[in-house]
């Protein structure tokens, strides 16, 4: 179910975004442009950076929640 939702969100971002070459700042559109240009390495790098950023933020939020529980009560 999560995969289906992610695909739906990706599609809506790509359709709604302006798709002006070299002006887009939305990562899914940038990845889509790289894939259309057969630049699989560039698309993979952007995806990996997004994945690592999400992982880092998830770990940071988890640590902050643990810290808050420890000192809240």
Give me the tens of pLDDT residue by residue for the chain, a chain 73 residues long.
Answer: 777 676 666 666 666 665 666 665 677 878 888 999 999 999 999 999 989 998 999 999 999 999 999 888 6
**Distance of alpha carbon 48 from the chain centroid:** 9
pLDDT score of 16: 61
pLDDT at 72: 80
Question: Residue 34's closest CA among 44, 25, 19?
Answer: 44
What pTM did the predictor assign? 0.67
């Amino acid at each position: 179910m999560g995969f289906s939702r992610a695909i739906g969100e990706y599609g809506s971002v790509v359709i709604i975004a302006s798709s002006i070459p070299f002006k887009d700042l939305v990562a899914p559109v940038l990845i889509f442009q790289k894939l259309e240009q057969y630049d699989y390495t560039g698309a993979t790098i952007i995806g990996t950076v997004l994945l690592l950023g999400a992982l880092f933020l998830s770990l940071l939020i988890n640590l902050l929640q643990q810290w808050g529980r420890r000192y809240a009560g």
